[in-house]
Amino acid sequence: MPFSQPPKILLVDDRPENLFALEHLLASLEAEVVQANSGNEALTATLNHEFALILMDVQMPEMDGFEVAQYLRMAESTSVTPIIFLTANSQTTEDECRGYASGAVDYILKPINEAALLSKVRIFLDLYRGHQMLKRENESLERKLTNTATIIVDRPTKVLAGYSLLRTLGRGSIGTVYLAERDCKGVKRKFALKVLRNRLPDSLTDQLTQRFMREAEAASRVKSSHVVSIVDYGIAEDERVPYIVMERINGQSLKQLLAKRKIRLEESVCLLRQLASALKAIHEAGIFHRDIKPENIMIENENNAKVTDFGIAKLPESELTQTSHLMGTLPYMAPEQFASANIGAQADLFSLGVMAYEMICGERPFQCDGLIDYSTAILHELPKSPREFVPDLPDILEYALARLLKKRADERYATASELLRDLDLYAKGKSIRSRLVTVLHRDGSTNWSEGGG
């Protein structure tokens, strides 16, 4: 099937003559070339285009190629885009290893062997075209599944691992969730059954299956009324399809609730307490969630919160959780997540703090447009004082938000249990004004805008 548009290649170099030479070299290929003469221009280009390949110089002013690559790996749209580094200045093993660690697929020294480079570029363009063809096939399959949804409803005998699939509840990038039913000792019970999509590229199937099963393993270890419980999981014998069976939640995500209306203060505190209780159970099971955000919080009857989606959770002593890429969702990532995937409970607590601030104040503490802006804000900037939104906010809640959003992990709550103790004090009408002032003074100020956050 012919492609309506040619694949795009991004060239990144601060020297115009190098960009000209590279574009001239690639002119024989059926590809569109986009130029960027700085790291910032490169990141902006990736927001507007989808690239099959990025060719990037290492030595550039303001932001070098390694830093650009780190930002690219943080964005879902460029997390797996191939990057080839081109350099004339660095021939050390250390720099070469740093290049590969930042996500590069190749590290080429100048002067460039033009024939070798063209051969490599052709390979990546062919891989991209193959991936696009599979993507279109998947989209076609999704449309067929949608069009035949009524057939599934009319024929509930469609069975997977002993569960009757009634209808589709939702679809994600790698999974589909069905409303499922099973006879349990004479009583028909309904569940949410999540399956790994078929027709995925062979190169991704094993990796995604491992990640899918890891999610089930992680969630099944946690016993809490505020964590979506796992009923069953495995790989269906006949179909060889990985599946997870979860309790069915009649409700909506916290993201959907926030989009509908402003959450009242007492309601926010109630949800915060429930989520802190969930994190306590998760961390005590030796697990770090690493992706706490409103989309992963289900709200039942608008007052009962449950944490879900353990897809990138870190389990104890599991090789499958190790990664060289940054993981999480940008607006809710803790500062330390920009430096390492080896993070602990305090990162989850920071993410909880972002959500708590959003529930109480009506907006996120960091309002940004792009990758660089978000990372800069989370690493270095302080949010507005919550009292700008809620002037009569009780001091203990101001303290809790300030403690959760500390830049340094060792200055946050050490455990979710500590946060729960402060929320207990709030429920009893206690004041901690002296403790609040002490913490803020340690930062050199007594208010958020100058250092309290």
Q: At residue 320, does pLDDT exceed 60?
A: no
Pairing of strands 304-307, 297-300: antiparallel
Give the pLDDT band (50/70/90) at residue 191: very high
Domain spanning 149-247, CATH class: alpha beta
Residue 24, classed as helix, strand or coil, is helix
Residues 6+ apart with CB under 8 A from 259: none
Residue 441, classed as helix, strand or coil, is helix
Give the pLDDT band (50/70/90) at residue 80: confident
Q: Closest by alpha carbon to 311, among 170, 191, 194?
A: 194
Residues 6+ apart with CB under 8 A from 340: none
- The β-bridge partners of 381 are none
Q: Closest by alpha carbon to 378, among 440, 328, 318, 439?
A: 328
CB 288 within 8 A of CB 313: yes
Task: Quote the pLDDT of residue 410.
Answer: 92
Residue type, 176: T
Q: At residue 130, does pLDDT exceed 90?
A: no
* Per-residue pLDDT reduced to its tens digit, 47-61: 888 999 999 998 888
Joined tokens for residue 245: 């069976």
Task: Quote the pLDDT of residue 271.
Answer: 97
Q: Say how many CA atoms lie within 13 Å of 7 toward its Cβ.
A: 23
Residue ranges of the chain assigned to CATH 3.40.50.2300: 8-141
Measuring CA to CA, how many Å separate 47 from each of 74, 236, 330? 13, 39, 15
CB 250 within 8 A of CB 302: no
**Higher pLDDT, residue 19 or 207:** 19
CB 249 within 8 A of CB 307: no
Length of the chain: 453
Helices (H), 27-167: 39-48, 65-74, 93-101, 114-147, 149-154
Q: How distant is the alpha carbon of residue 114 from its chain centre?
A: 38
Report the first-to-last Cα separation within the chain, whole angstroms: 55
Residue ranges of the chain assigned to CATH 1.10.510.10: 251-450
Joined tokens for residue 151: 């057939």
Burial of 291 (0-12, 13-18, 19+ CB in 10 A): buried
Phi/psi of residue 273, nearest 5 degrees: -60, -45
Q: At residue 99, does pLDDT exceed 90?
A: no
Q: Closest by alpha carbon to 424, among 224, 305, 272, 225?
A: 272
Annotated catalytic sites, by residue? 291
Give the pLDDT band (50/70/90) at residue 153: very low
Residue 204, Cβ neighbours under 10 Å: how many? Answer: 14
Joined tokens for residue 408: 């340094």
Q: Closest by alpha carbon to 278, among 225, 347, 350, 210?
A: 225
Measuring CA to CA, how many Å separate 267 from each of 90, 263, 264, 273, 302? 56, 6, 5, 10, 9
DSSP state, residue 173: S
Average pLDDT for residues 400-415, to the nearest whole number?
Answer: 94
Helices (H), 222-322: 254-260, 265-284
CATH of 8-141, one of 3.40.640.10, 3.30.1540.10, 3.40.50.2300, 3.30.70.60: 3.40.50.2300
* pTM of the full structure: 0.65
Task: Quote the pLDDT of residue 435.
Answer: 54
Q: Closest by alpha carbon to 350, among 367, 368, 331?
A: 331
Average pLDDT for residues 301-317, to the nearest whole number?
Answer: 75
Average pLDDT for residues 114-135, to the nearest whole number?
Answer: 85
CA 311 – CA 242 distance, rounded (Å):
14
Residues 6+ apart with CB under 8 A from 55: 9, 10, 11, 12, 22, 84, 86, 121
Residue type, 75: A
Give the pLDDT band (50/70/90) at residue 196: confident
* Per-residue pLDDT reduced to its tens digit, 246-300: 999 888 999 999 999 899 999 999 999 999 999 999 999 888 888 899 999 999 9
CB 451 within 8 A of CB 444: yes
Task: Quote the pLDDT of residue 44.
Answer: 85
**Higher pLDDT, residue 96 or 55:** 55
Domain spanning 251-450, CATH class: mainly alpha
Task: Provide Rg for the chain, Cα atoms.
Answer: 25
Residue ranges of the chain assigned to CATH 3.30.200.20: 149-247
Q: Closest by alpha carbon to 386, among 362, 416, 417?
A: 362
